Structure formats: C-alpha cells, structure tokens
Structure 1
Amino acid sequence: MILYFSNSFKSGLKVLFDNAPYLIESVNFVKPGKGQAFARVKLRNLLTKQLLEKTFRSTDSLMHADVVDVKYIYIYYDNNAWYFMNPENFDQLSLNTAIIENKYKWLIEQHEYLITFWNNIPIFIEINKFMNLKVVSDVSAKELNSIMSNKKCKLYKLQTGLIMQLPLFIQIGDIVKINTITEEYHSRINI
C-alpha cells in the first residue's frame, strides 16, 4: 500500500481514514514560528458524503485508498435503478438511489460519467460542475406566468426533466449551461 505523509497531501487525493475511503478536498499547510508544522485538511467520506476537518502533524500519514474511477456511459432508467455501460468491455452496471441521490437530474443518456469503486463496489458518481442541457419546453400555466410576470425569468423544462428559471431570451431548443452545484443558469451555448 502507498503511504502519504501530511506534507504530500493535496486536493483530490483518495485516502483511508478510520477504515473508510475519503477524498481530500482542501489542504492548508501551517508552519508556525515555534513548534512543528501541521496541515489542516478537509476530508469528504466517499461512503456517507460527510465532510470532516482534521489537523495532521508533519509526521502523520494516511494510506492510499484502493479506490478506482471508471468511465461509464449512462444508458437508461427503469423505475428501480439507473443503468450504465462500460464502453471498453460493454459490462452493464446498475446504481440505486443511495448512490445516485439527487444527481439523477443531471444524467443524460449516452453521456459519460466517472463512477468510483471501492473494493469493487460502486460508491460514488461524479457529476461535472457544469452541464450543457437542451431546453425542451416551457412551463406555461396561467398561474405561473402571473406569479412570474414581474420577473425577468420564465420556467423551462430541460432534457433531463429538470424545471428551472431561465432568462426570457431563452428559446425552446437552446442549449444552456447550468451549474450543477448551485443549480443556477450560467449561460446560453451558441452552436
């Protein structure tokens, strides 16, 4: 097993901590005038998604987590699970709600996603920070339009089924760039 000392910690590193896989999200190295240097580290548990802040001395170390990231193509949903296919060997994989959580609104058929495995079990799916989605229809109910008449936005339905407020200049068929973290409109994509 690979051992990482705290002075080699960096964002994106996957390590074992308390017998669970963690992702290092940020590292802040501190070298005080007196005393030993240390690192303040934000760790995200890949199983529970819980964020943890820990301080490590320069002599502390963590083992590399046997975590593998594999690209899979999303193919369909059948009311029980989301199905993906490995483009290299065509193996299919189904993910349940515990892994997908609320990320289903960013899944586009035939689009590649990075799935993280720990001990050959899928534990996490990574969604890009920005997704380009097609506007498929507007939500045009009289009540909604009267509520939103004083705003510069309108409700639209995107290709994944997500309904969100977009600027009035957006047309059906446009491709829009959406921030998946804040779930906000970022820009229109010109093709």
Structure 2
Amino acid sequence: MKTAQEMKPNSVALIDGQPWLIQKAEFTKSGRNSAIVKMKLRNLLTGSSTETVYKADDKLEPVILDRVAVTYSYYSEPNYVFMDEEFNQYELNKDDLESVMPFIVDGMTDVCEAVFFEGKVVSVDLPTTIVRQITYTEGSARGDTSGKVMKPAKLSNGTEVKVADFCEIDDWIEIDTRTGEYKSRAKAPV
C-alpha cells in the first residue's frame, strides 16, 4: 500500500476493485488544514474519468503493470500510434496521453514505455529527460543578474516552457518530463 502523496501521474491504483490510471496528482499543503492530493483519474476498464481529493496519508493499492519499450510513430486521427521493436502498433487517444501530450512531437526518437493492463495498452511513459528545440522566445533583458532569471519559450508543438534567460531561438534544451521544467541547454540529438 502507498499513500496518496506517493502516487505519481501515470501510475495505477486499485480503488473499489477497479484499476484507475492517475492522470494528474497535485499535492497541496495549506496552513492549518491537513495536506491533500487532488487527483484526476481514468478507469482503465470503462474509460470513465473523475476528479477526486484524498488526504495525503490515505492508503491506495498500486497495481503492477506490464511495460514494453516503444517509439512514437505517427498521428492517425484521433489516435497516436506507437511501435515496439517487433513492429507491433499500439494506438492511444489524446485522453490516454494527457500527461505526456506537451512533449510529443513528430519525428521524436525518444524511447518510451507502453503500459499494459490485462493485455491492453493504457498509457505511455516518456523518458525522465527529453531534448527539444526552442522555436520562439523573446530576447533576454539586459542588466537583470539578480539570480535565476527565467523567460517563456515555445517548442515546435506549441508547448510553452520557462527557460533560462540566456536561451535563444533554435537552442536545444533538456526538459524534465515529470515536472515539465527546463533543466539545461543541450546538444542537438543525432
């Protein structure tokens, strides 16, 4: 058993005998109140979605799922198609990929993991760190050297990320897929 606070997005919990995919989990701790975790859940069997709130120390039973290495292949309305090493194709719709959608781009070569429950693919996990190219950002502001200065930047798929002030258009950056935060500049992928 894990506490609600320990459950992360793309993990699965058994709630009332049903497997639920955690699409989003936001931890909140306010002054006098106890810590809570707001979760957006999707039932793996019925496809229905719900949002609920748990106390941070509520116990949830995690479900161990099968995983297969896959790469993104193409978009076929309304599904995103991923392929494994044996050329098996797995289709997922946008709702199944909600937590990783900001980082999916055409031509990406990142090796992902398809997550299976009872033989059916239910989600895809990206690597912890990915490299993407900045397509637009404003110029840096002169004179502000007070510390870690961040500015907005857009990636090729329209996702906006806060980057260091010295980053420019066409720079390649590393992004932490768990938090969606900029990590550092990087070299262009080969």
1:59 corresponds in structure 2 to: none
CA positional deviation for 1:18: 3.5
Unaligned runs of at least 5 residues, structure 1 = 1-5, 24-41, 56-61
**What is the identity percentage for the equivalent residue pairs of Structure 1 and Structure 2?**
21
Structure 1 length normalisation: TM-score? 0.58
2:84 corresponds in structure 1 to: 86
CA positional deviation for 1:84: 0.6
What amino acid does structure 1 have at the position aligned with 2:182? Y
Whole-angstrom CA distance in 2 between matches of 1:155 and 1:131: 18
1:133 corresponds in structure 2 to: 132
1:29 corresponds in structure 2 to: none
Structure 2 length normalisation: TM-score? 0.58
Whole-angstrom CA distance in 2 between matches of 1:96 and 1:115: 13
CA gap 1:169/1:74 in 2 versus in 1, 3 angstroms: same
CA gap 1:164/1:150 in 2 versus in 1, 3 angstroms: farther
Higher helix share: 1
1:34-70 CA-to-partner distances (Å, cap 9, x unmatched) read: xxxxxxxx9x977469786228xxxxxx8x9573111
Please tell me whether the aligned partners of residues 14 and 20 of structure 2 are also in contact (alpha carbons under 8 angstroms): yes
Please tell me whether the aligned partners of residues 46 and 123 of structure 1 are also in contact (alpha carbons under 8 angstroms): no
Question: 2:175 is matched with which residue: 163, 174, 178?
Answer: 178
What amino acid does structure 1 have at the position aligned with 2:184? S
CA gap 1:154/1:66 in 2 versus in 1, 3 angstroms: closer
Unaligned runs of at least 5 residues, structure 2 = 22-36, 44-48
Map 1:33-182 onto structure 2 (within 5 A). 47=43, 53-54=58-59, 65=63, 67-87=65-85, 89-108=86-105, 109-135=108-134, 137-139=135-137, 152-182=149-179
Report the structure number with the largest CA radius of gyration: 1
The DSSP-based 3-state class of the residue aligned with 1:181 is coil
CA gap 1:156/1:21 in 2 versus in 1, 3 angstroms: same
Matched positions, count: 151
